[in-house]
Structure 1
Amino acid sequence: MWTEEIVAGRPAWRHIPSGVVFRAVPGGTFRMGLSEAELDAVRAIERGGEVEDTIDPFLNGAGDAQPVREVRVEPFLIARHPLTVAQVRHWLPEYEDDYAETDTTTARLEGDLDDLLKLMPFELPSEAQWEYAARAGTTTLTFRGDGKPGEDQLLDDFDDETRTIAGENAFGLAGMGSANEICADVWIPGFDAAPADARPRTGDGPRTVRGGAADLYPWQGCDEWLLLLSATRYGHADFTAVRPVAPLPPQ
């Protein structure tokens, strides 16, 4: 079912039937949510004249990603990048994607999402797993720091291995924040009473989504870069990308 190998100079696990490459994320504790330091960094970007429109809606909605809390995450596997069109077709051979230009582009699922989740032998990441993986040990706006991320940080097609490698964070994960990746958690504004052990919050209603800056490319100057931030979250409404997780294979 699994083979351990080196991909782009890093250890990886490949799911043999589908060919999807996963990275092993070490366990640990992190501060989850949009911190005051991160909000100050966003305000500094505004003071520096780097805001195209207005960040007031983002600042007013900061409570959706607060309070910041400490979360313990156990080791797990997560896909190196969101599933591509070609990878989705392993489970859904008739899958067609109106948003993708090539088979190596991130798949955006709409009506096929539930079918994929039923057939795929993996789970969706919890929000805590996703943010922990996106931060990769950092506490800044993105894993690259507190500077304003630009369109050069978008990574949506994984045909170019050199560019994919350049887009990896410290955990060897590429494209975090580019596509709108759906999580296992139901959408609940804020983190009051959220579990501290990375379990997803369950219930009725839409799931939570992370990322999505590439979904608005080419950017229209409406501060789409805010979707690249590690802590940005919102409720699922339309199409979505999938970056699955799995338990560590037995040794």
Structure 2
Amino acid sequence: MDTALAFGVVWTKKIVAGRHIPSGVVFREVPGGTFRMGMSEAELAAVRAIERSGGAEDTLEPFFAGAGDAQPVREVRVEPFLIARHPLTVAQVRHWLPEYEDDYADADSGTARLEDDLDDLLKALPFRLPSEAEWEYAARAGATTLTFRGDEKPGEDQLLDDFGDERRTAAAENAFGLAAMGSAAEICADVWIPGFVGAPADARPRTGDGHRVVRGGAADLYPWQGCDEWLLLLAATRYEHAQFTAVRPVAPLPPRK
């Protein structure tokens, strides 16, 4: 089936609400633009301020030592695209993998975390993974702060791991209409390369052999154990895929009518 023909699309002045009818996945439009990608000195200063105020449970030196993996900060140009409102749920994954069983979700409306089934899902999806530039741009939603909510220490109240409650899901959206950015570990199209030296100035993924990049993951450690899990909610935090992961697919913009 032509992917475009499977969409029911509602256009508004600010946002596209597109539903992939067969699976029920809701997509949001992310407008094109440019942004400063990576962990800025201002963001590092904000983390140090949290640490000085007693907000860190442990030493943050490993975090600061690894900050170079998200530097140098550079300006990146992003073209408009559609991205899922939230990570695929267990029920949505079963549209493509009917026998899928999830070891982590408490309900079919919860985020699906894939391990052995990941490659099978990626082959079956009529969509692609976001590049990490697209992911960070979508997570920031125009903000330059630690999270789209500002430079304050994010808390467990920012986690969202189940999307059965529409009111709660809507309340968690950023300015692009996206919920739970940073809650689950979400895999990107890019191969893991420490740092951004030589990275493209557009949103193309970096390709090659090896594990992919993962963004987010603060809810994967729930209930929080006092090991500074909040750092995984930061828009610029990135690391190498090692085990289970969530998937938030990307689709091309449908034609406007």
Aligned equivalents of 2:238, 2:138: Cα separation in 1: 15
Aligned length: 250
Contact 2:89 2:111 in 1 (8 A): yes
Letter paired with 1:249 = P
Residue 5 (structure 1) shift: 2.9
Contact 1:54 1:222 in 2 (8 A): no
**Which of 181, 184, 187 does residue 186 from structure 2 map onto?**
181
The question of 1:193 aligning with 2:227 is answered no
Residue 16 (structure 1) shift: 1.4
Aligned equivalents of 2:167, 2:252: Cα separation in 1: 28
Query: C-alpha offsets along residues 108-146 of structure 1, whole Å, 9 cap, x if unaligned?
Result: 000000000000000000000000000000000000000
**Which of 211, 214, 218 does residue 209 from structure 1 map onto?**
214
Letter paired with 1:2 = F
**Which of 230, 235, 246 does residue 225 from structure 1 map onto?**
230
With normalisation by structure 1, the TM-score equals 0.98
Residue 11 (structure 1) shift: 3.7
The equivalent of 1:64 in structure 2 is 69
With normalisation by structure 2, the TM-score equals 0.96
**Shift in CA distance, 10/75, structure 1 to aligned 2, threshold 3 Å:** closer
The equivalent of 2:114 in structure 1 is 109
Identity score, percent? 82
The equivalent of 1:23 in structure 2 is 28
Contact 1:12 1:23 in 2 (8 A): yes
Aligned equivalents of 1:61, 1:99: Cα separation in 2: 28
Query: C-alpha offsets along residues 122-181 of structure 1, whole Å, 9 cap, x if unaligned?
Result: 000000000000000000000000000000000010001111011000000000000000
Residue 6 (structure 1) shift: 7.5
Give the gaps of 5 or more residues in structure 2: 1-5
Runs of 4+ in structure 1 deviating by more than 6 angstroms, as ranges, are: none
Aligned equivalents of 1:5, 1:32: Cα separation in 2: 30
Contact 2:218 2:232 in 1 (8 A): yes
**Which of 87, 99, 107 does residue 94 from structure 1 map onto?**
99
**Which of 168, 173, 182 does residue 163 from structure 1 map onto?**
168
Give the gaps of 5 or more residues in structure 1: none
Residue 236 (structure 1) shift: 0.1
Query: C-alpha offsets along residues 74-127 of structure 1, whole Å, 9 cap, x if unaligned?
Result: 000000000000000000000000001000000000000000000000000000
